[in-house]
Amino acid sequence: MSYSINKTEARLMARADLTIFNETQALMKQVITDAGNGLYETNVTDGTTMTESTPDIIVTGSVANPTITGTPDVIIDGVTVTLGTSGTNLNAVIADINDASITGVVASKNASDNLVLTFTCSQTTTWTFVIGTGTANTDLGLTAATNTATNPTSVDYFNVWEGNTADRPKTDQMNQVVLYFQNLGYTIQRIKNTSTNKTFKWAISY
């Protein structure tokens, strides 16, 4: 006895994924928040699979459990941070970098005691994180370079929406999000996020 499913059943199975659920729930949560604040429109530019516009860039030092000598510096996204003010071990380095309050930057360490710099990009057309030529680079295992973020999945959704690429599952997922809100009586549309020019935002009015 053979087993088969028809086209409608296949589409239903394909749509039973977390992408659509997570997207609609995140949007609805923001709608509820905005409506509670007396607004009549919700714009979501970031924070969902289809709209992410502030990806992270992670730079990891190659030296495990590093120590520094004296007061060398690191240059992080154009900001010079003098190290050694609170100690010479990795924990002190992390504290000095975080105390500098560089926008978007968080210093930490991994399980192997390497320095980890996590940079959350802003909504711009270029997602980069620059490590300058600091005198502590060698001790920490850092390399002076311009690091570029890996495009998040939201860029793929944008390109499909724009017609630059063809991807039936992504097209269907976006259509299902639109249908979900339309069935609830909302007006919903996708608009290019002009801050990035490579992602879109959801605009929902009610």
| pLDDT reading at 14 higher than 70 | no
pLDDT at 8: 66
31-34 long-range contacts (CB < 8 A, ≥24 apart) are 31/186, 31/204, 31/206
Q: Which of 6, 29, 15, 14 is nearest to 181 (CA)?
A: 29
Interval 27-71: pLDDT, tens: 999 999 999 999 999 999 999 999 999 999 999 999 999 999 999
CA 195 to chain centre: 14
Supply the pLDDT for residue 145: 98
CATH of domain 56-148: 2.60.40.4390
Where are the chain's structural domains? 8-51+152-205, 56-148
User: What does the pLDDT look like over 156-182, one tens digit per residue?
Assistant: 999 999 999 999 999 999 999 999 999
pLDDT tens column, 180-189: 999 999 999 9
Q: What is the pTM of this model?
A: 0.85
Please tell me the predicted confidence (pLDDT) of residue 17: 82
- What percentage of residues in the chain have a pLDDT greater than 70? 92
